Amino acid sequence: MTYLPPSRVQFADEPLSWKEAVRRVGQPMVDQGLVTVDYVEASIAGAEANGPFYDLGKGIAMPHARPEQGAKAVGVSLLRCKTPVLLLDREDHPIDIFLMLSATDANAHLEMLQRIAAVLVDDVRVAELKAAGTPEEVISVFNWGEDGPNN
């Protein structure tokens, strides 16, 4: 199983609101049974209640909710937006990459966060991620193959 298959990598050419972007990044995970619709909506509600806490910097946000709010399996989905999305409609939080994370336990959560963090601290890999034009190019930035993050 791969954490980020091509079917969960999307590109948006049209401008989106931040809620549309969160719902769009979450939809493949809902469709594939990794999370419930409630999980996606809890990701939106969490930002509304607690501020833009999932803005990771560099134009990347990682919307997520607590496992008990509807996470059913481990996985990631990604949406790259051509037009930056203003998280919480705030100009100081422009986002062009949304990564939705679903983890059912702490070990899987940490494993995925380590792989994501390795990309985010590397400006070259962030640039590669933002320049990627295909799902396969996105996946290669994370080095996630068919067996998950360790190959």
Rounded to the nearest angstrom, the gap between the alpha carbon of residue 121 and the centroid of all alpha carbons in its chain is 16
Report yes or no on 34 lying in a domain.
yes
CB 53 within 8 A of CB 47: yes
The CATH number of the domain holding residue 14 is: 3.40.930.10
pTM: 0.91
pLDDT in tens, 46-83: 999 999 999 999 999 999 998 899 999 999 999 999 99
Q: Tokens representing 115?
A: 């792989």
Q: Which residues are catalytic?
A: 64
Q: Rounded to whole angstroms, how far apart are CA atoms 32 and 97?
A: 21
What residue numbers bound the domain in which 18 lies?
A: 6-142
pLDDT in tens, 19-48: 999 999 999 999 999 999 999 999 999 999
Q: Tokens representing 54?
A: 């999932």
Report yes or no on 96 lying in a domain.
yes
Report yes or no on 125 lying in a domain.
yes
> For residue 84, what are the CA distances in angstroms to 4, 39, 59, 75?
22, 23, 8, 24
Report yes or no on 148 lying in a domain.
no
Q: Minimal CA–CA distance to 71: which of 22, 98, 23, 33?
A: 33
Neighbouring-strand partners of residue 95: 85
Q: Minimal CA–CA distance to 102: which of 60, 72, 138, 145?
A: 72
Report yes or no on 22 lying in a domain.
yes
Report yes or no on 65 lying in a domain.
yes
Q: Number of structural domains, the chain?
A: 1
Q: Rounded to whole angstroms, how far apart are CA atoms 43 and 55?
A: 12
Name the percent of the chain lying above pLDDT 70: 94
Q: Tokens representing 65?
A: 């909710």
